[in-house]
Structure 1
Amino acid sequence: MARAGNLYELPEHLPVPEDDGACDHLPGLRVPSIPLPSTAGGIVDLSTLLGTTVVYCYPRTGRPGEPLPAGWDEIPGARGCTAQSCAFRDHYQELQALGARVFGLSMQDTDYQREAVERLRLPFELLSDADLRFAQALRLPTFTVEGMRLIKRLTLVIEDGQIVKVFYPVFPPQRNPEDVIAWLSGRQA
């Protein structure tokens, strides 16, 4: 495993992910009814939420001082989960003003995610898909590193339980909230 370094800033010269078409099937799909544990202590079923919901899916957050998986910086799109979460935190009020609720989603368990919510002071919940039921039901793109199957970075915009927009691939991760805001603003105009 490599050293994490500064989790809040991305190193230069990261490989840029390419659109491999792995999310082309998602726009227009209904979100499956799969209860997901939340860092707020409850269960969230994204299929039942009315209005606009933004779900940014990310591989895994790191922790300061803990090593990254071997070759992490060489995997296109893997690095940047903390930067992306912080960017959604920083743009949270703008997203709310556009009528959107925000969730982050990874395959990490809820206890692990709670540490990230507290450390990063996230004003929204993180959802755990540790058993991959949600990812498999939607056929979300994944990759494997050090025996961990992780979701590739993507963002879903869901309206009344139906996927209306997919951002994939997402790069650089910290720009993702701005792209979502621009799309939502254009849709309302």
Structure 2
Amino acid sequence: MAQLNLLEVDWSKIPAPEDDGAAAHLAGMAIPQLSLRATNDTSVVLSELKGRVVVFAYPRTGEPGKISLVDDWDMIPGARGCTPQTCAFRDLFAELKAAGAAHVFGLSTQSNDYQTEMAARLHLPFPVLSDEALDLVHALDLPIMEVADLTLIKRLALIIDDAKITHVFYPVFPPDRNASDVLAWLKANPALNR
């Protein structure tokens, strides 16, 4: 099935993911010392970043007019909506920073080359991290889905304060509301070392 418009989605026709408990262990975990390639041609070690960090993860972004990964992609709970989620974080980026986010990152298991094209196409003001080798997925035991022989991260968002996960948004639905939910949480829970 061709993905004609990645942004205009009728969420009432898309199955919502259920909380399967796969992220329940994350709050309070320390971020491991590992390097992830970023779309701004750097390597990022999340555990070395000071202050509040927002990381939103998603299965994979699509390309307009390209064939979906699988024909029933939209019917996999939590699969559809990576581009709307990413664009919502883009659109609220300045407000997220003003609310205390020292850093904002997207995250998926897609290659850095693919994500670099996507970041340029969507004019993202923040880097997207590639966990193509599944290092962070395995280290944190992130919730995953297996589709078309690929391991994909289930949609979630992490608030990290000085290398420790403070809050987890999971499951995330609808995806385009995730950024505003994160912003509301940041405003209600200011960082202590701001």
Q: What TM-score does the superposition give when structure 2 sets the normalisation length?
A: 0.95
Partner of 2:59: 59
Contact map agreement 2:100 2:186 (CA 8 A) in 1: no
Q: Which moved more, 1:111-120 or 1:8-17?
A: 8-17
Separation in structure 2 between the aligned mates of residue 105 and residue 158 of structure 1, nearest angstrom: 14
Q: How does 1:7-86 map to 2 (within 5 A)?
A: 7-11=6-10, 12-70=12-70, 71-86=72-87
Amino-acid identity (%) = 53
Q: Name structure 1 gaps, 5 residues minimum.
A: none
Which deviations, in whole Å up to 9, do the C-alpha atoms of 1:115-137 show, x marking residues without a partner? Answer: 11111000000000001010111
How many angstroms apart in 1 are the aligned matches of 2:146 and 2:164?
28
Report the AA paired with residue 29 of structure 1: M
CA deviation after TM superposition for structure 1 residue 5, in Å: 2.1
Aligned length: 188
**TM-score, normalised to structure 1's length?**
0.97
Q: Report Cα offsets for 1:14-59 as digits up to 9, x if no partner.
A: 0010101100000000001110000011100001111000000000
Q: Offset of 1:187 from its aligned partner?
A: 0.9
- CA distance in structure 2 between the aligned counterparts of 1:86 and 1:106, rounded to whole angstroms: 15
Which one of 169, 172, 193 corresponds to residue 170 of structure 1? 172
Residue 129 of structure 1: aligned partner: 131
Paired position in structure 1 for 2:142 = 140
What is the CA distance between 1:3 and its match in structure 2? Answer: 1.2
**What pairs with 1:173-184 in structure 2 (closer than 5 Å)?**
173-184=175-186
By how many angstroms is 1:188 displaced? 2.4
> Which runs of 5 or more structure 2 residues have no equivalent in the other structure?
none
In the aligned structure 2, how far is the partner of 1:9 from the partner of 1:87? Answer: 13
Partner of residue 188 from structure 1, selected from 168, 181, 190: 190
Q: How does 1:105-120 map to 2 (within 5 A)?
A: 105-120=107-122
Deviating beyond 6 angstroms after TM superposition, the runs of 4 or more aligned structure 1 residues are none
Q: Secondary structure at the match of 2:80?
A: coil
